[in-house]
Copies of this chain bind each other. A is one copy, B any other.
Amino acid sequence: MNSKIPAPVAKRLALYHRCVITLLESGKELVSSNELGERLSLKSSQIRKDLSYFGGFGKRGSGYNLNYLKESLENILGINRPWNVGIVGAGNIGMALANYEGLLRDNYRVIALFDRNLSKWGTSVGSRRIPIIPIKEMCSKIEELSIEIGVIAVPAEYAQSIANRLMECKKIKGIINFAPVKIYVKNVDLEDVDISISFKALTFKIWSESLGKE
């Protein structure tokens, strides 16, 4: 059933969710696939098709009820309930994520930072006072705090070994990898957030266009 869903659909669903929230905040109650498509630079038929994988959320003649669509998308994306998140690496990126309110808004609760640097142990971060915990205690804390998502925010050379240790924690169901390196996982889901690749993809575009003009 789920095996037939094209890979790019999940990210577009998240895009729809974001847009639906904006539309709701502006006081709207209905949206057509056409308007959604214009706002997101997507074809309306693609939006209807994406949504139809999960059932019919719309009403012929009028469009999609925004409240119902929002709730449906949250069910599909799994954010109708909170997820406990642990960040490994209390460096620049780890700290920025811990303080990032957008996550909490989407029901992702960062409740622990793990670091190997003993000078950071025992301190806490941000207004929510997220504790920094020694990496040695990572697995037991993940168990104790029911952390299901691990975020890798350590330098590239440590990323795989951290991933291995996260996979040993039975509670961990998914990993988000910010380290600029490919990591290999088993029995957990993985998403990469690739900052350096985005920069390179950008200069590739700039560069190839400037060559075309010559």
A residues with a Cβ closer than 8 A to B are: 1-2, 5, 10-11, 13-15, 17-19, 22, 39-41, 76-79, 83, 92-93, 95-97, 99-100, 102-103, 106, 108, 148-149, 173-176, 180-182, 184, 189-209, 211-212
With A18-B180, A95-B96, A206-B173 as contacts: A200 and B106 at CB distance below 8 Å: yes
Residues of chain B within 8 A (CB-CB) of A190 are 202
Minimal beta-carbon separation of A196 from chain B (angstroms): 5
Q: Is the CB of A83 within 8 A of B176?
A: no
**Nearest-neighbor residue (CB-CB) of A94 within chain B:** B96
With A10-B204, A211-B2 as contacts: A18 and B181 at CB distance below 8 Å: yes
Minimal beta-carbon separation of A103 from chain B (angstroms): 7
Q: Is the CB of A203 within 8 A of B83?
A: yes
Minimal beta-carbon separation of A21 from chain B (angstroms): 10
Pairs across A and B, CB under 8 Å, 27 listed: A2-B209, A2-B212, A11-B194, A11-B197, A11-B201, A14-B196, A14-B201, A18-B181, A18-B197, A76-B204, A76-B207, A76-B208, A77-B203, A77-B204, A78-B204, A92-B96, A92-B100, A93-B100, A95-B96, A100-B195, A102-B180, A102-B196, A106-B199, A108-B199, A149-B199, A191-B202, A193-B198
